[in-house]
Amino acid sequence: MRLNLDWLTILVGVLTAAAPEEGCALLLGQRLPAALTGDLLELGLVWPCLNRWEPQGERRQRFLIDPREQLLAQRWARQQGLTVLGSAHSHPASPAEPSATDLALAVAPTLLVICSGLVGAGEDSAGPLAGLGAWWLPGDAAAPLALEIQVET
């Protein structure tokens, strides 16, 4: 997965702003053919969403993007020559790895980006990707594939 530093900053800001609840966003961009590695997912826009999970008290460990918001994003993306690649959400109190619930509720194939809230404010030695993980969920009960995140400046 490739994105520029500006979109990375926006993505992390959107996801962490919802703490202590899970934040969420849709990821718009393009699937580009890559010669040796299969398709490259290039993120072109972060579409911030509200967490609509009910009951509200469970939003610390669950998220739901309003289906109307998804349809609006898909329509807008098509008009811009983009596609909805997947979604992103935060895990305020757990690692940036897909949970069993994430895998059960995802509609694959899809991109899933997770931002962990476990990275402290002073622990920026890992750079802008600290606490961030990207996964491709291929579907058909196949295991999620960890993706390398490439940041362009």
Task: Give 107-141 pLDDT, tens digit per residue.
Answer: 999 999 999 988 754 444 466 688 999 999 998 87
- Alpha carbon dihedral 111, 37, 34, 25, in 10-degree steps, equals 10
Residue ranges of the domains in the chain?
2-152
Structure tokens at 119: 């990275």
SS3 percent helix, strand, coil of the chain, rounded to 5, is 25, 35, 35
| pLDDT at 120 (0 to 100) | 57
Report CA-CA distances (Å) from 55 to 35, 87, 141.
46, 21, 28
pTM value is 0.91
Residue-wise pLDDT for 52-104, tens only, equals: 999 999 999 999 999 999 999 999 999 999 999 999 999 999 999 999 999 99
Q: pLDDT band at residue 14, thresholds of 50, 70 and 90?
A: very high
| pLDDT at 121 (0 to 100) | 46
Residue for token pair 């969420």: 24
Structure tokens at 74: 């898909």
- The domain made up of 2-152 has a fold known as Cytidine Deaminase; domain 2 (3.40.140)
Report CA-CA distances (Å) from 98 to 16, 106, 136.
17, 10, 10
Nearest alpha-carbon partner for 89 in 12, 145, 3: 12
Burial of residue 91 (CB within 10 Å: 0-12, 13-18, 19+) is: buried
DSSP H or E stretch at residue 111: strand 110-116
Rounded mean pLDDT of 28-46? 84
Q: CA-based angle 112:146:93, to the nearest 5?
A: 60
119-153 burial: b if 16+ Cβ within 10 Å, else e: beeeeeeeeebbbbbbbbbeeeeeebeebebebee
